[in-house]
Amino acid sequence: MKFFIDTANLEQIKEAQALGILDGVTTNPSLMAKEGITGEANIINHYKAICEIVDGDVSAEVIATDFEGMVREGEALASLHPQIVVKLPMIGDGVKACKYFSDKGIKTNVTLVFSAGQALLAAKAGATYVSPFIGRLDDISTDGLNLITEIREIYDNYLFETQILAASVRHTMHIIDCAKIGADVMTGPLSAISGLLKHPLTDIGLEKFLADYKKGN
Ligand code: G3P
C-alpha cells in the first residue's frame, strides 16, 4: 500500500519523507490556499519545491473546468517535473481530458469521486489513480469505506490497472480499514500517518526495557 501525504505544507511533507515511508503527495486548490500559496507563479514554484522533497508522484490539480483549458493547464503542469500527476475533476470534460492524457502516457488522478459509477468511468478513461473521498461521504452519513470496497470489486473483476487512491482520509482507522479492503494508495494528513505509530504498550515496554538496562549497567 502506498502512503501519500495530503498537504501542501512543506514542513509536514519533509517530516513524512524523513520517516522513510512516504510514496507521494496530493494537493488541491484548498490545501494550497491553506498554506497561503496564491498566484500561478507561486503555485508552480511550490509544486517544484514539493517534487524536490519527495521521490514519488505529486498530484497537481487543474483549475479549468473545460476540456481545452484542462489540456492546456495539465500539459503545463506535467512539463514542470517528471513526478507531476495531472489531477482532474470527475466531470465530463475531466473524463475526456483523462483519456487525452492517458493516451499520451501522462499520469492522471481523477478526483472528487463519490460513486462506483464515477470510478468505473475514470478507469475506462485510463486514469492512473482514482480518488474516492471517504471522509466527505462519512460526513453526510454515507459509508465511505463501502465505496472503496465497491471500487475494489469492480476493478478486480476487469483487471483495471487504475490505482484506488483512498482520499479524504481523516484518521488512522480509515488507513487501516483501507489497507484491509485493498486500496492501492491512501492519502491523508500527517496526523493520521503518525497516529499509526502510537501504542501505549510500546511506550510502557520501552520504558521498562531501558529501566532494566540501566539496572544492570
Ligand atoms: O484528498 C482529498 C482531500 O484533500 C479532501 O480531504 O478532509 O477536505 O475531505 P477533506
The predicted pLDDT at position 17 comes to: 97
Could you give the CA distance from residue 193 to residue 171 in angstroms, rounded to a whole number? 8
The predicted pLDDT at position 162 comes to: 98
The predicted pLDDT at position 59 comes to: 98
Q: Is 34 a catalytic residue?
A: no
For 205-210, what is the mean pLDDT? 98
Nearest CA to ligand 1 atom 2: 168
187 within ligand 1 shell (Cβ under 6 A)? yes
The predicted pLDDT at position 101 comes to: 98
Separation of first and last alpha carbons in the chain: 42
pTM of the model: 0.96
176 pLDDT above the threshold of 90: yes
Distances (CA, A) of 159 to 104, 148, 169, 210: 21, 16, 25, 50
Output the nine-digit C-alpha cell for 86: 495531472
The predicted pLDDT at position 197 comes to: 96
Residue 216: pLDDT band with limits 50, 70, 90: confident
Ligand 1 atom index nearest CA of 133: 2
Q: Which position among 2, 48, 87, 180 bears the catalytic label?
A: 87
Q: In 3-state terms, what secondary structure has residue 163? A: strand
The predicted pLDDT at position 70 comes to: 98
pLDDT tens per residue, range 2-11? 999 999 999 9
Q: What sign does the dihedral 188-194-197-203 (CA atoms) show?
A: negative
72 within ligand 1 shell (Cβ under 6 A)? no
What type of residue is 29?
A: P
Nearest CA to ligand 1 atom 6: 168
pLDDT tens per residue, range 78-90? 999 999 999 999 9
26 within ligand 1 shell (Cβ under 6 A)? yes
The predicted pLDDT at position 73 comes to: 97
pLDDT tens per residue, range 64-118? 999 999 999 999 999 999 999 999 999 999 999 999 999 999 999 999 999 999 9
Q: In 3-state terms, what secondary structure has residue 13? A: helix
Distances (CA, A) of 84 to 49, 117, 157, 170: 12, 26, 29, 24
Residue 217: pLDDT band with limits 50, 70, 90: confident
